[in-house]
């Protein structure tokens, strides 16, 4: 049994396939496993909390894990150890979520492209057909992550408190969420995964996308992301497309296309859930 995992800070999707890529179990979902944010004890608790994973763990021969927070050595080693301990019969491979986005959006295995992730967090890389190149090292949710779920959640909360949104939107937002100051501060400053908490507000944008305020908010975030991240690859953009992965990108497709036209880069493919394109890639070379 081969397990393929696509993990953000909010959630992790697990699929089990055989050597031919046939799905063996219903998709498993756990909380996000970001080793740059969560301590070892919490990572182990999340994995052990899945009855399905616990039931089948000895059958697993390979684990291919792609996740937020796995782009630097120490968090990557930590999560590898946790997975190897749990799946004792498996070969474990841990890589950053960017590679999952690459494999799920490119049209051919050697296609060069700029690949972006817009989910709970955000990222942008250049894949030359063999290797991935990143010109900006991520400093995490509090300093970067433009156009991500946590970015938009923060903007919505700020606009609510600064009275910078239309009254109808303000009332609708207050009706849907607990916006008490103490509740927000408690979740941001005293709870784990403050980025995931902020990202939970992003759904509100797409439920109210007919609002001009919301459309402008989405576009402004995309512009900021494009100027800070995508345009780092000005030379490459002359010949390659820009692919997008993640739920924020999927639901902001129209705004991304508009900003791409505005800033003169070619928008390529969209993958809402990168995991769906990974099974074929990872089973073709397994004997």
* Residue-wise DSSP of 18-69: -TT--B-SPPEEEE---TTTS-HHHHHHHHHT-HHHHHHGGG--EEEEEETT
Domain with residue 27: its CATH number is 3.30.420.40
In a domain, 31, yes or no: yes
Among left, alpha and beta (phi > 0; psi -120 to 50; other), residue 13 is beta
The residue range of the domain holding 30 is 2-101+275-283
Whether 9 maps to a domain, the answer reads yes
Per-residue model confidence as pLDDT tens for the chain (287 residues): 999 998 988 889 999 999 888 899 998 999 999 999 899 999 999 999 999 999 999 999 999 999 988 988 999 999 999 999 999 999 999 998 888 889 889 988 899 999 999 998 999 999 999 999 999 988 888 999 999 999 999 999 999 999 999 999 999 999 999 999 999 999 999 998 899 999 999 999 999 999 999 999 999 999 999 999 999 999 999 999 999 999 999 999 999 999 999 999 999 999 988 877 787 777 765 55
Length of the chain: 287
Report how many domains make up the chain.
Answer: 1
Continuous H helices in the chain: 40-48, 51-56, 73-86, 97-105, 149-161, 167-176, 181-189, 194-199, 203-207, 212-228, 247-251, 253-263, 279-283
Question: Considering the domain boundaries, does residue 212 fall inside one?
Answer: no
Residue 125 counted as domain residue:
no
Report yes or no on 85 lying in a domain.
Answer: yes
* Euclidean distance between CA atoms 117 and 40, whole angstroms: 25
Residue 94, in any domain of the structure:
yes
What is the pTM assigned to this prediction?
0.79
Is residue 279, in this structure, part of any structural domain at all? Answer: yes
Q: Is residue 215 part of a domain?
A: no
Tokens, residue 127: 């894949």
């Amino acid at each position: 049994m081969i397990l393929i995992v696509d993990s953000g800070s909010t959630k992790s999707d697990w699929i089990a396939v055989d050597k031919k890529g046939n799905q063996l179990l219903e998709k498993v979902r756990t909380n996000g496993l970001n080793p740059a944010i969560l301590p070892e004890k919490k990572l182990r608790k999340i994995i052990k909390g899945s009855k399905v994973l616990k039931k089948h763990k000895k059958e697993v021969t390979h684990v291919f894990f792609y996740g937020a927070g796995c782009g630097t050595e120490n968090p990557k080693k930590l999560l590898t150890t946790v997975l190897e301990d749990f799946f004792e019969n498996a070969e474990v491979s841990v890589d950053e979520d960017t590679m999952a986005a690459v494999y799920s959006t490119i049209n051919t295995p050697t296609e060069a492209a700029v690949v972006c992730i817009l989910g709970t967090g955000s990222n942008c890389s250049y894949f030359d057909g063999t290797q991935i190149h990143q010109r900006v090292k991520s400093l995490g949710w509090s300093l970067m992550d433009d156009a991500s779920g946590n970015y938009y959640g923060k903007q919505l909360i700020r606009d609510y408190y600064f009275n910078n949104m239309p009254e109808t939107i303000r009332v609708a937002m207050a009706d849907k969420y607990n916006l008490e100051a103490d509740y927000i501060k408690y979740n941001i400053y005293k709870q784990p995964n403050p980025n995931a908490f902020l990202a939970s507000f992003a759904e509100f944008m797409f439920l109210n996308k007919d609002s001009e305020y919301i459309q402008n908010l989405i576009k402004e975030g995309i512009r900021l992301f494009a100027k800070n991240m995508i345009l780092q690859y000005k030379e490459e953009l002359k010949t390659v497309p820009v692919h997008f992965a993640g739920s924020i990108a999927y639901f902001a497709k129209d705004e991304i296309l508009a900003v791409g036209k505005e800033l003169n880069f070619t928008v390529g493919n969209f993958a809402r859930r990168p995991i769906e394109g990974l099974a074929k890639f990872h089973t073709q070379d397994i004997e």
